[in-house]
Structure 1
């Protein structure tokens, strides 16, 4: 398994600086957040080629492009068409950058609030994205995410089966699944392994009320809840069973560090990288 930094943690830095930090930390690659100043569907192709050159110079793989386009389930047809066009442009940029994975967001509402129509509409547009990805030998990844159509194993498989295309797969995110209070452990890896394209790692903790940095609220099946984003090991998400399961199924893809705790970005990356390396070492003993 290879370890990447999420460039979204480093949005206060240029892409060049973000890559410098990632290389200095000893990470294998970077997952690029598709927001300026790092990258977007409007970034010139000349600039995209420059980003590729930077990655090559830093000997960094680009694990994925973390797109924010999509939201097909609740958008108008015109907005869906625009999102689809953005997705196509991101695929063109992914081709230049030498990565085959593009994240597209499925949209909401929460799985426990969604109607069949939401899944059917999302599936229609995601299938179009997958068909386009097939032309460029790319893959579309849907992140299991709180407050979305896919919050747990069941809802993720429901949407994947509706799309029914091999170019569509999933990003496992235990932190998001913890917020949704769904099973994120070894059984979730086994259930999703056929469709598992990518893995995100971060830690969270339920708290009594928001206050201070890195706290937020979410509507869950329990009502409105408060959370704090934490360094790995400081929250309540147990990642060890996940890493054992990944090793057991022979997963050899990317693990992206995605911590949004209150500490400075470099401190977060350094800490979480050390923890993940320990988790990986423990799976091989």
Structure 2
């Protein structure tokens, strides 16, 4: 497996990142990550050719790949035209995966067909709400789209907060998992100051590898069993209690142990 670090770990309130892209990619490489996943605050339709070249040069300089970039929501001919720019950027960065939004199966298929011509794939994050919020619904959606370059960024945490067996889901979704993402949570009491809530279930951020949190060792045992050998992407948000570099290093070390 290859390890990737999301820019979410340095992103402040979904508005900006506290490091330049060069600094971020350099940090990831120094820790040992194989790649980075870029956020919309780092690359978007507003990215200039000069800025794209800077990302490419940093990727090459620090020998760190780009695993996935965000793209647009595909819903009409205008947005398909916009998708072309994201595809151009992905090709320039040698990035294999894009994240898209879509309103209908037909538009998802059109996007996948176009990207296949560019040797690119779509990896959609498993998330609460929407067409991938349970393994059963995800399978239904994926079978309707029926494109071999349209798959999932499997996020166990989003199934955890829905009280879905996220380890069993690995086997259920094995044919469609392109990326495995990691953000660790634990159940919390309603009066916990750090608790968040999803449909009556309370949870909080938890340090990977510490007792009491999600069982990611079981996740990786299941992932190995299905023969997965792709990107494992750390998507932890910026931490209130730990510096981003320290958290990124901790996550990398834990992932190396769990996937050994």
> Taking CA–CA contacts closer than 8 Å with sequence separation of 6 or more, which of the two structures ends up with the larger relative contact order?
2
Q: How many residue pairs end up in the alignment?
A: 251
TM-score (norm 2): 0.88
Q: Deviations over 1:95-143 (max 9, x none)?
A: 000011101245xxxxxxxxxxxxxx43122111101111211101111
For the 8 Å contact 1:230–1:259, the answer to whether it is kept is no
Aligned match of 2:49: 45
**Deviations 1:63-110 (Å, cap 9, x if unpaired)?**
111x2632x6xxxx6xx555444433211110000011101245xxxx
What is the match of residue 72 of structure 2? 69
State the match for 2:128 in structure 1: 146
Q: CA deviation at 1:41?
A: 1.9
**Could you tell me how far apart the structure 2 residues matched to 1:139 and 1:123 are?**
16
Structure 1 residue 104 corresponds to structure 2 residue 104: no
Which residues in structure 2 correspond to 1:79-228 (within 5 Å)?
83-105=79-101, 121-185=103-167, 187-209=168-190, 212=193, 215-218=195-198, 223-228=199-204
State the shift of 1:194 in Å: 1.5
In structure 2, the residue corresponding to 1:170 is in which secondary structure? Answer: strand
Question: Out of 58, 61, 64, which is 1:60 matched to?
Answer: 64
Report if aligned partners of 1:41, 1:93 keep a CA contact under 8 Å in 2: no
For residues 123 and 259 of structure 1, what CA distance do their matches in structure 2 show? 30
The aligned counterpart of 2:31 is 25
Shift in CA distance, 83/181, structure 1 to aligned 2, threshold 3 Å: farther
Structure 2: runs of 5 or more not aligned:
11-16
2:165, 2:78 → 1: CA distance? 35
Q: What do residues 215-238 of structure 1 show as CA deviations (whole Å, max 9, x unaligned)?
A: 4333xxxx3433212221345311
Per-residue displacement from partner, 1:133-167 (whole Å, max 9, x unpaired)? Answer: 11211101111111232112111111111111112
User: Contact 2:2 / 2:34 at 8 angstroms: preserved in 1?
Assistant: yes
RMSD in angstroms over aligned alpha carbons?
A: 2.1
CA contact (8 A) 1:210 1:226 kept: no
1:231 aligns with 2:231: no
Q: Which consecutive residues of structure 1, in runs of 5 or more, have no partner in the other structure? A: 107-120
Where does residue 118 of structure 1 map in the other structure? none
TM-score, normalization: structure 1?
0.81
> Corresponding residue for 1:279?
258
- Return the offset for 1:196: 1.4
CA distance in 2, matches of 1:240, 1:105: 31
Post-superposition CA distance 1:27-74 (Å, at most 9, x none): 1111111x23x1112211232122111101001011111x2632x6xx
